[in-house]
Amino acid sequence: MLGICPNCNIKLKEPPFTERDTNEVMLVIRYRDIIEAGKFFKSMDELGYCELCNAKKHDLETQKK
């Protein structure tokens, strides 16, 4: 596995861990279900969080530092 969310690219095994899903297998299964159904993810800028793993935009910015 890659160790990142396929939607927002946050690293799953690194902090912050506030209320986000870090189970890679479940994320990939949900991701495939959505893609195979022909649906698209809304942007993280639009929602403020990742639809797949629930990481907040602030979490992603904090991790990049």
pLDDT band at 17 (very low <50, low <70, confident <90, very high): confident
0.75 exceeded by the pTM?
Answer: yes
Q: Is the pLDDT assigned to residue 1 strictly greater than 80?
A: no
In this prediction, residues 17-22 reach a mean pLDDT of 88
For the segment 25-50, what is each residue's pLDDT rounded down to a tens digit? 999 999 999 999 999 999 888 999 99
Residue 53: phi, psi to the nearest 5? -105, -5
Q: Shortest CA distance to 44 belongs to which of 63, 26, 25?
A: 63
Domain edges within the chain: 1-65
**In the predicted structure, residue 6 carries a pLDDT above the cut 70:** yes
For the segment 47-59, what is each residue's pLDDT rounded down to a tens digit? 999 999 999 999 9
Judged by DSSP in three states, 34 sits in helix
8-30 burial, b if ≥16 CB within 10 A, otherwise e?
A: bebebeeeeeeebbbebeebeeb
